[in-house]
Amino acid sequence: MTTAVVTGASSGIGAATARLLAAQGYRVICAARRADRIRALAEEIDGVAIECDITSDDDVARLADAVGGSLDVLVNNAGGALGLEPVAEADLDAWSTMLQTNLLGTTRVTKALLPALVETRGVMVFVTSTAADSGYEGGAGYCAAKAAERAVVESLRLELYDQPVRITEICPGMVRTDEFALTRFEGDEERAAAVYRGVPDPLTAEDVADAIVWMATRPAHVNIDRLTIRPRAQAAQYKVYRES
């Protein structure tokens, strides 16, 4: 049976991707910190739940043990944004957390599971962001973390050019999920809602999951280096149509 690992599988894009991979016939290992949520998801999709904080060496080692010697798909989805302050008011603790998860945590998982992916001629999908493309007001910490994650993707692809493994990246723009903006604004529902106010049909987690699974299921000789996915209303990171 083909096996996939999805990190950050407890909600949003991760949970939607786990469900869709399972529907495609994969045995999905759902990895996230919130054990109750991934257990419920694993039961729903007949998968495996592994409680895993990707910033923990011990947790990632336990994930690697659960995977074993072969892995077909790794979706590096865990990460996220915190805050929207200008650099002059930067919360460096929040910046550190974003770097620990988006950059170091993702690299830790990749390093641990790489041998199993090479063994099976597998594919990695890194979920970065259009935030990796350029900075925007209040976004320096998150943009830096996602740009750093992209640097890992690009270097890894060059380093593994002669190995039977594919390195891919998806860069979502405006995606409305239950928790991304709420987490960014520490549960402030008004600030979270304002991000999407007036925007007709922002992307959903399922939209991004559909693209991820398409990337992961291309023929073995096809590598989708980078795919940017935005709602039609978002022409660029800084230009979004909003209905009055």
| Positions marked catalytic | 142
* Of 212, 215, 239, 223, the residue nearest 134 (C-alpha): 239
- From the centroid of its chain, how far is CA 17? 10
- Please name which of 101, 173, 184 lies closest in space to residue 138, comparing C-alpha atoms: 184
DSSP state at residue 135: -
135-138, Cβ contacts within 8 angstroms, sequence gap of 24 or more = 136/237, 136/238, 137/86, 138/83, 138/84, 138/85, 138/86
Q: What is the CA radius of gyration of the chain?
A: 17
Amino acid symbol at 142: Y
